[in-house]
Amino acid sequence: MDCVDFDALEEQARAKLSAPSFAFCATGADDEITAAENVTAWRRLRLRPHVLRDISNVDTSVSLLGSNVATPIMVAPMGRHRMFHNEGELATARGATAAGAVNVFATSANVLLEEAAALRGSAPQWFQLYMWAGRDGLEPLLDRVAAAGFRAIVLTVDNQVYGSSPRQMRATFVPSPDIRSVNLPGAPMARTAYDPENQGRVLFPTTWRELEWLAKRVPMDVVVKGVQRGDDAVRCAETGAKAIIVSNHGGRHLDTAMATADALGEVVDAVGKKAEVYVDGGIRRGTDILKALSIGARAVLIGRPILWGLATHGADGVQAVLEHLREELVRAMQLSGVARLAEAKPDLVARISDQP
């Protein structure tokens, strides 16, 4: 698969998918300002490369929550993968395993979490959690996750209420009995975030109390996803989170929220060594990844391009996307005089507005 140009890969996915499935993957909230700026914000940053350094051996390995992995590029949690490929999250898990990448498995997946866990390779798997009301069904799910060997719980906190997508409304997704959230009680049909029945409802009432409870309840590390402010990030760490994911949900819920490239530095500076920091949103090139790591992220998560690869070539497509980004990261590191990720420091990056 040629995924050098992600624009071309996106168009290949568009050609293969139904209009509602592609819209669900591609859309942002409202005017899609944040979704677009997530991409352009990384491009506003410029690299300030070092020269005359030994870059003959580049090492992209990193420690994530105590696990050594070969790449700082993770698969972001995204549900309903059977909208994009008939094998759903099993294909995604195989692709991530082949690339040696951490795969964050979603609550709203269409395959059993135990089946995905059986495909684990050298990199750990993490489980993304939505904290719905009532713990009767939640606690057995958490016990299943722990028993299946997932190494972390990634609590999503930025969509207690779903956003609205005019694009999805124009290409309405009709829930199918064949596409279900099989890990949830009753295995409900997988409605999308933009289903009219969900509008305005507080579906995931998650507060500091729930985070504190979760951190004490599960034996795994807790990661909080959806943080965009330094003060919130510090409180997450103080409440028990071991890591923070700077994310605006791909611009899918609150439009005009800050681009993650612009929010990352504040979170990194505020958290310090209290917790690890990761980032997602709009990352399309190895140079974007190097910029994120230089600002202070320990790793990045990739969303939509994973689904494009999944839609076009299944597990092989997911692997190709991840390996292509890692190859670009290695080249960017070499050309910037950075042989190891620890050498990527904030002074490697400047904003266009900072240029003379």
In 193-213, which positions are buried (b, 16+ CB within 10 angstroms) versus exposed (e)?
bbbeeeeeeebbebeeebbee
The answer on pLDDT for 200 being more than 80 is no
Identify the pLDDT of residue 223. Answer: 98
Query: Can you tell me which residue has the tokens 């890969």?
Result: 9
The string of pLDDT tens digits covering residues 268-281 is 999 999 999 999 99
Q: Among the listed ranges 198-212, 274-288, 307-321, which one has the minimum average pLDDT value?
A: 198-212
The string of pLDDT tens digits covering residues 333-347 is 999 999 999 999 999
pTM for the structure as a whole:
0.95
Please indicate, yes or no, if residue 265 is contained in any of the structural domains: yes
Query: Can you tell me which residue has the tokens 């109390």?
Result: 209
Nearest to 183 by CA among 254, 225, 128: 128
Please indicate, yes or no, if residue 62 is contained in any of the structural domains: yes
Identify the pLDDT of residue 356. Answer: 44
342's tokens: 């620890």
The answer on pLDDT for 101 being more than 50 is yes
Q: For the chain, what percent of residues have pLDDT higher than 90?
A: 83
Task: Look at phi and psi of residue 102 and say left if phi exceeds 0, alpha if psi is from -120 to 50, else beta.
Answer: beta
Please indicate, yes or no, if residue 119 is contained in any of the structural domains: yes
Average pLDDT, the chain: 94
Q: Which domain holds residue 247?
A: 6-338
Mean pLDDT of 231-248: 98
Please indicate, yes or no, if residue 220 is contained in any of the structural domains: yes
Please indicate, yes or no, if residue 237 is contained in any of the structural domains: yes
By CB neighbour count within 10 A (0-12 exposed, 13-18 middle, 19+ buried), where does 333 fall?
buried
Is 249 an annotated catalytic residue? Answer: yes
Q: Which of 81, 249, 253, 313 is catalytic?
A: 249
Q: Compute the CA torsion angle 64, 110, 254, 25 (nearest 10 deg).
A: 100
Q: pLDDT category, 2, cuts 50, 70, 90?
A: low
Which residues, in sequence order, are bridge partners of residue 289? none
Q: pLDDT category, 354, cuts 50, 70, 90?
A: low
List of long-range contacts for 348-354, beta carbons under 8 Å, 24+ apart: 348/47, 348/48, 348/49, 348/50, 348/290, 348/291, 348/294, 349/45, 349/46, 349/47, 349/48, 349/291, 349/294, 349/295, 350/45, 350/46, 350/48, 351/44, 351/45, 351/46, 352/44, 352/45, 352/46, 353/44
3-state secondary structure of 88: coil
Q: How many CB atoms lie within 10 A of CB 250?
A: 22
Domain count, the chain: 1
Biggest distance spanned by C-alpha atoms of the chain? 61
Please indicate, yes or no, if residue 226 is contained in any of the structural domains: yes
End-to-end CA distance of the chain: 41
61's tokens: 């390995």
Please indicate, yes or no, if residue 356 is contained in any of the structural domains: no
Q: For the chain, what percent of residues have pLDDT higher than 70?
A: 97
Query: Can you tell me which residue has the tokens 């972390």?
Result: 152
Distance separating alpha carbons of residues 195 and 172, to the nearest angstrom: 8
The string of pLDDT tens digits covering residues 32-86 is 999 999 999 999 999 999 999 999 999 999 999 999 999 999 999 999 999 999 9
Please indicate, yes or no, if residue 343 is contained in any of the structural domains: no
CB 295 within 8 Å of CB 265: yes
| Segment (H or E) for 64 | strand 62-64
CATH number, domain with residue 135? 3.20.20.70
Backbone φ and ψ for 125, nearest 5 degrees, come out as -110, 145
Q: pLDDT category, 107, cuts 50, 70, 90?
A: very high
